[in-house]
A and B are shown apart, each in its own frame.
Chain A
Amino acid sequence: MKKLIVAAALATLAFAAPVKAEEPNSILNVSYDIARELYAEVNKAFIAKYKADTGKDLEVKQSHAGSSKQARAILEGLEADVVTFNQVTDVQILHDKGDLVAADWQTRLPNNASPYYSFPSFLVREGNPKGIKDWGDLVRDDVKVIFPNPKTSGNARYTYLAAWAYAKEAFQGDETKTRDFIKKLFANVPVFDTGGRGATTTFVERETGDVLITFEAETRAIAKEFGEDKFDLVTPPASLLAEFPVAVVDKVADKRGSRAIAEAYLKFLYSPEGQEIVAQFGNRVHEPSVVEKHKADFPEIKLVTVEDVFGGWQKVSKEHFASDGILDQLFVAR
Chain B
Amino acid sequence: MATKRVGDQKLVRRLLIGAVAIIALFLIAAPLLAILSYALAGGAGRYFESLLTEDTLHAVKLSVITALIAVPINTLFGIAAAWAIAKFDFPGRRFLTAIIELPYSISPIVAGVAYLFVFGAQGLFGPWLQANDIKIMFALPGIVLASLFVTAPFVARELIPLLEAQGREREEAGISLGASGFQTFWRISLPGMRWALLYGIILCNARVFGEFGAVSIVSGNVRGETNTLPLHVELLYQDHNSVGAFAAASVLMLIAVFTLVAKFLLERRGVRRHAEGT
Q: Contacts A8-B68, A15-B140, A77-B137 given; 11 further ones with Cβ under 8 A?
A: A5-B72, A8-B69, A18-B132, A34-B240, A64-B221, A65-B221, A76-B120, A77-B121, A77-B138, A197-B237, A221-B240
Q: Known: A18-B133, A36-B239, A225-B240. Contact between A64 and B223, CB under 8 A? A: yes
**Residue contact B237 to A78, C-beta cutoff 8 Å:** no
Q: Hey, which chain A residues are within 8 Å of B116, CB to CB? A: 76
B65 part of interface (Cβ distance < 8 Å): yes
**Residue contact B133 to A20, C-beta cutoff 8 Å:** yes
Closest 3 pairs between A and B when the two form their complex, measured CB to CB: A76-B120, A77-B121, A18-B133
Q: Hey, which chain B residues are within 8 Å of A98, CB to CB? A: 121-122
Q: Known: A19-B133, A34-B238, A79-B138. Contact between A1 and B222, CB under 8 A? A: no
Question: What are some 15 contacts across the A-B interface (CB < 8 A)?
Answer: A5-B72, A36-B223, A61-B223, A64-B238, A75-B122, A76-B120, A76-B123, A76-B126, A76-B137, A76-B138, A77-B121, A77-B135, A98-B121, A98-B122, A224-B240
Name B residues whose Cβ lies closer than 8 Å to a Cβ of A. 65, 68-69, 72-73, 76, 116, 120-123, 126, 129-130, 132-141, 144, 216, 220-226, 235, 237-242
Residue in B123, B135, B137 whose Cβ sees the most chain A Cβ within 10 Å: B135
Q: Known: A34-B239, A61-B224, A77-B121. Contact between A16 and B139, CB under 8 A? A: yes
Q: Hey, which chain B residues are within 8 Å of A11, CB to CB? A: 65, 69, 140
In the assembled complex, how far is the CB of residue A53 from the closest CB belonging to chain B, in whole angstroms?
24
Q: How far is the CA of A306 from the CA of B216 in the complex (A)?
A: 32
Q: How far is the CA of A77 from the CA of B219 in the complex (A)?
A: 11
Q: How far is the CA of A63 from the CA of B137 in the complex (A)?
A: 14
Size category of the A interface is 35 or more
Q: Hey, which chain A residues are within 8 Å of B65, CB to CB? A: 11
Q: Hey, which chain A residues are within 8 Å of B126, CB to CB? A: 76-77
A62 part of interface (Cβ distance < 8 Å): yes
**Residue contact B221 to A12, C-beta cutoff 8 Å:** no
Q: How far is the CA of A18 from the CA of B242 in the complex (A)?
A: 38
A58 part of interface (Cβ distance < 8 Å): no
A37 part of interface (Cβ distance < 8 Å): yes
Q: How far is the CA of A225 from the CA of B243 in the complex (A)?
A: 11
Out of A16, A28, A30, A222, name the residue touching B141 (CB < 8 Å): A16
Q: Hey, which chain B residues are within 8 Å of A28, CB to CB? A: 222
